Structure 1
Amino acid sequence: MPKLTKNEQAVYDLLPKGSQRPRPYSEFKTLMDIDKRTLSSVINDLIIKHHIPIGSSRTEPTGYYLIETPQELQNAVRPLSSQANAELKRVDTLLQINLTEFWAKEKADG
């Protein structure tokens, strides 16, 4: 395994194997005194920089876990893919808005 930072190692050490009992944010908060944004950043770094297969469950029980099976991988990727598609649609829509026309209409509508 590549050399991890102190935070990365602490998070990694707390990740359970498999999706049956994912570790929720509240447990990371209690055990590490880490905020959600930092935890998310560390999880992202573990996946992107170190190629560690970490999944998350958004339904009960929620939390993070080390992916062990192809099915767990699919279950972890599916909501991320849906979220990414929704975000891209939002970006595309924003880029298509004509600001001059929008504000002219707002001004006219009072």
Structure 2
Amino acid sequence: MRLDQEEQQLLRLLPHGGNHPRPLRELVKLTGWNGRKVRAIIYRLIVVHHQPIGATNQKPRNGYFIITNDQERQQALAPLTSQIQMMTKRAQVISSTELKG
């Protein structure tokens, strides 16, 4: 499957490497789209088109970037792994909590 125009546009805006990631609000400003649309396109670029896009939330260097090496890959995977663990724990508690009423 080929990238559509919006996917190509967003991909061109992402820097190569994690040294200067581009924040979501900057991508919103540059594209004129809302944050939800930018995140949806990033999701498609990763999941559908297998683009190695990472994100970091470590201020002041937070934002999206194209992964270029294994260190950046690990940097991008760390918050995802943590989020998965937190969500799994939350789901376990909700499913096992006794309901009142």
TM-score (norm 1): 0.85
| 1:56 maps onto 2:55 in alignment | yes
Partner secondary structure for residue 55 of structure 1: strand
Q: How many residues align?
A: 100
2:29 maps to a residue whose letter is T
Which residue pairs with 1:27 in the alignment?
Answer: 26
2:37 maps to a residue whose letter is T
| 1:40 maps onto 2:36 in alignment | no
Tell me the percent identity: 35
Counterparts of 1:30 and 1:82 in 2: how far apart (Å)? 29
Query: Aligned Cα RMSD in Å?
Result: 1.1
| 1:73 maps onto 2:101 in alignment | no
1:49 maps to a residue whose letter is V
Say whether the 8 Å CA contact 2:25–2:35 is kept in structure 1: no
Q: Rg larger in 1 or in 2?
A: 1
Point out 4+ residue stretches in structure 1 off by more than 6 angstroms.
none
Which residue pairs with 1:5 in the alignment?
Answer: 4
Which residue pairs with 2:97 in the alignment?
Answer: 97
By how many angstroms is 1:44 displaced?
A: 1.0
Provide Cα deviations, 1:62-92, integer angstroms capped at 9, x if missing partner. Answer: 1100000100000100110000110111111
- Structure in which a larger fraction of residues adopt strand: 2
Unmatched 5+ residue regions in structure 1?
Answer: 104-110
- Structure in which a larger fraction of residues adopt helix: 1
Unmatched 5+ residue regions in structure 2?
Answer: none
